[in-house]
Amino acid sequence: MEILEILKYVLPAIIVFLTAYFMLRIFFQKEMKDKDRQLMTELKDAKDKRIVPLRLQAYERLILLMERISPNQLLMRTKASGLSAKQYQSILLQTIRSEFEHNLAQQMYISSAAWDFVINAKEEMVKVINTAASQLKENASAHELSTLILEKSLAYKKFPTMQATEILKKEVRQLF
């Protein structure tokens, strides 16, 4: 009889305790998940604030690279007076290599497909220069080489540097 009396008071207390325990546990778990989600959102926003300007700068620099190694711009920027075709070829290739190496790290911030277009444009420009140089006589002038390079670049419907520039611009528009 005494046990029944004790159970009459203890059993409801245990039920209330367990109910409160489980409700508080669920509440605190939900709070922790909400705080974790909020923290992750804040971290992502902070990361985006740092990365977005770097990505945009990478696209700008690579578009500038494509402009600088395009046939017209490269030939206008590189002095040819008094040089042989072989000397001029060497200077042009060194200029392209230098420009490309200066922007090599930008590949981290763009898509692999866009980077492939950048590499292809550089390699195609090198190929045009080397092909033009191989078709000239040994004593040809730099002026003859530059003329032949321009002629060969005009044979393309759209030179690869222009294609790469368009791809880079398209990606920027999609991302921002």
pLDDT(1) > 80: no
CB-based burial label for 134 (10 Å; 0-12, 13-18, 19+): exposed
Tens digits of residue pLDDT in 85-123: 999 999 999 999 999 999 999 999 999 999 999 999 999
pLDDT in tens, 11-22: 999 999 999 999
pLDDT at 40: 92
Q: What is the pLDDT of residue 46?
A: 79
Pairwise CA distance, residues 128 & 154, whole Å: 11
Output phi, psi for 83, to 5 deg: -105, 155
Of 40-49, 78-87, 109-118, 152-161, where does mean pLDDT reach its minimum? 40-49
Domain that holds residue 160: 2-175
- Structural domains in the chain (count): 1
d(CA 96, CA 66): 10
Q: What is the pLDDT of residues 44-67, one digit of tens each?
A: 887 778 888 999 999 999 999 999
Residues with Cβ within 8 Å of residue 144, at least 6 apart in sequence: 85, 136
